[in-house]
Amino acid sequence: MSIFILIASLIGGVLLSAQSSVNGSFSSKAGTLESAFLTFITGGMMLFIIVLFFGTGNFLSFLEAPGWQLSAVWFGVGYLFLTILTVPKIGVIAANLSAIIGQLSTGMLIDNFGWFGGMQISFDLKRLLALGLMLIALWLIYQANIKDRKQALEAT
* 3-class SS shares of the chain: helix, strand, coil, % to 5: 90, 0, 10
pLDDT at res. 2: 84
pLDDT at res. 16: 85
pLDDT at res. 1: 62
User: What's the pTM?
Assistant: 0.78
pLDDT at res. 64: 87
How do residues 114-148 score in pLDDT, each as one tens digit? Answer: 988 878 888 899 999 999 999 999 999 999 988 98
* Domain extents in the chain: 15-155
> Residue 20 in contact with residue 98, Cβ under 8 Å?
no
Residues of the chain with confidence (pLDDT) below 50: none
Which residues contact residue 148 at a Cβ distance below 8 angstroms, ignoring those fewer than 6 apart?
none
DSSP character for 71? T
